[in-house]
Amino acid sequence: MVASPEIRVAINSDPDIVIARQKGRARAVELGFSSGDATLIATAISELARNIVAYAKKGMITLQVVNGSNRQGIAVTASDDGPGIPDIRQALRDGFSTSGSLGLGLPGVRRLMDEFEITSQPGRGTTSAATEMECSLLRSTASATAKRPPTRRE
């Protein structure tokens, strides 16, 4: 199988957030995610991209295909060289915001995606990585396996 190239979207302003969101949604649909799941992935991408514009001014969203044993997924990485987050636990709490906003972006991404990880060094920047795996591919493989006649070694 040919590895899909990663997609990188430079985030410098609000229109870039929309581009990252659209590219992420399109890639998720290509990978077999349902329309609803693709929208959730797109929402996570916009929250991370919006934080880049709001707090770091510029950064990058990278979309990569993740290959599991019998399913595929999408990994979204948001990285910036901005001010960083001094207390990540606090930043992940519902309602915590240093900009007077709702404080629901990061906790929302954590709830929407299968895996979510943030690393940040104050003064040096922030990297957030969120991954969602496509479960229906797993289910179809599992049922195909179940229908196969049992093999016996005697």
Ligand X SMILES: Nc1ncnc2c1ncn2[C@@H]1O[C@H](COP(=O)(O)OP(=O)(O)OP(=O)(O)O)[C@@H](O)[C@H]1O
Q: Residues interacting with ligand X, by CB under 6 A? A: 47, 51-52, 54-56, 80, 82-85, 91, 96-99, 101-107, 126
Q: Which of 83, 66, 95, 90 has its CA nearest to residue 124?
A: 83
Helix (H, G, I), strand (E, B) or coil at 112: helix
What is the Cα–Cα distance from 2 to 23, expressed in whole angstroms? 20
Q: Burial of 20 by CB count in 10 Å (0-12 exposed, 13-18 middle, 19+ buried)?
A: buried
**Partner whose footprint covers residue 96, from ligand X, Mg ion, none (CB < 5 to 8 Å by kind):** ligand X
Q: Residue 85 binds what, of Mg ion, ligand X, none (CB under 5 to 8 Å, by partner type)?
A: ligand X
Return the number of the residue (23 or 58) whose C-beta is nearest ligand X.
58
User: Residues 46, 51, 120, 126: which binds Mg ion (CB under 5 A)?
Assistant: 51
The residue within the footprint of Mg ion, chosen from 24, 59, 82, 105 (CB under 5 A), is 105
